[in-house]
Amino acid sequence: MDEGLRERKKRETRQRIADMAMGLFLARGFDDVTVAEVARAADVSVNTVFNYFGTKEDLFLDRQSEAEDVPSRVVREREPGESVVTAFRHDFLEAIDQGDWRYGLNEGADAFARLVFESPALLARMREMDHAINGNLAATIAEETGAGPGDLTPQFVAGQILGATRLLARHALWRRQAGDSWQRIRPELREQAEALFDLLEKGIGDYGRRPLVQAAQHGGAAEDHEHEHVEGDHG
């Protein structure tokens, strides 16, 4: 045994605190539970709680932050011939079918999401995590593609892709919140994912192009001149 009594007790105490906290949060919402209550429930002092968790939010996100470099793995383990985007496309589509927790597509994710959406503090923390994840993925992409330090492309690409997957995941959660079953959501989500990944790959250059004619501008027929004049005056 390389784990003494001391280590075990610490691990147990930490776990007890986290478990009690999660129970209270799920029952009454994040903001309506005080750290003092968590401490009482775990039978420790408030100071001990802060000894293990730096902030109240950490009580909730304990293990969540482990997922901070998950997207990097998708890039690193992409198959030969696969671009970064297609790697994520395949990963995400698989995730839909398997109810992958990495994108919040698993069964119990909605209870979790409800809690987050109701708490400004947790929302802020989630955005912070998103930011960190963006940075991680950008670094990995830069590394994989050998981009120079002044090159903004890795950060750009990371942001674009994660923006898309987050949007899709959030949309699914939102539909779940509204009462739809995963069964009903899945096929639509697949379509939407395909559509957004197509846009990622092929670009949004033509999106929302305003018609060149102005006669009957917002009369009724808006579907003429779809690809009329793609200008390319940029360097």
Partner DNA sequence: ATCAATATTGCAGTCACTCTAAAATTTGGT
Partner DNA sequence: ACCAAATTTTAGAGTGACTGCAATATTGAT
| Interface with a second copy (CB under 8 A) | 75, 78-86, 89, 123-124, 127-128, 131, 141, 144-146, 150, 152-153, 155-157, 159-160, 163-164, 167-168, 171, 188, 191-192, 194-214, 217, 222, 226-229, 231, 233-235
Residue 38 near residue 32, CB atoms below 8 Å: no
CB-based burial, 148-185: b 16+ in 10 Å, e otherwise: eeeeeebbebbbebbebbbebbebbbebbeeeeebeeb
Binding site partner of 144, from a second copy, DNA, none, Cβ cut-off 5-8 A by kind: a second copy
The residue ranges that bind DNA (CB under 7 A) are: 4-7, 9-10, 13, 33-36, 43-48, 50-52, 54-57
Which one, 34 or 153, has the nearer CB to DNA?
A: 34
Residue 196 near residue 167, CB atoms below 8 Å: yes
Which one, 51 or 86, has the nearer CB to DNA?
A: 51
Binding site partner of 203, from DNA, a second copy, none, Cβ cut-off 5-8 A by kind: a second copy
CA distance 28 to 30: 7
Binding site partner of 215, from DNA, a second copy, none, Cβ cut-off 5-8 A by kind: none
Binding site partner of 95, from DNA, a second copy, none, Cβ cut-off 5-8 A by kind: none
- Read off the DSSP letter of residue 151: -
- Which of 66, 197, 56 has its CA nearest to residue 133? 66
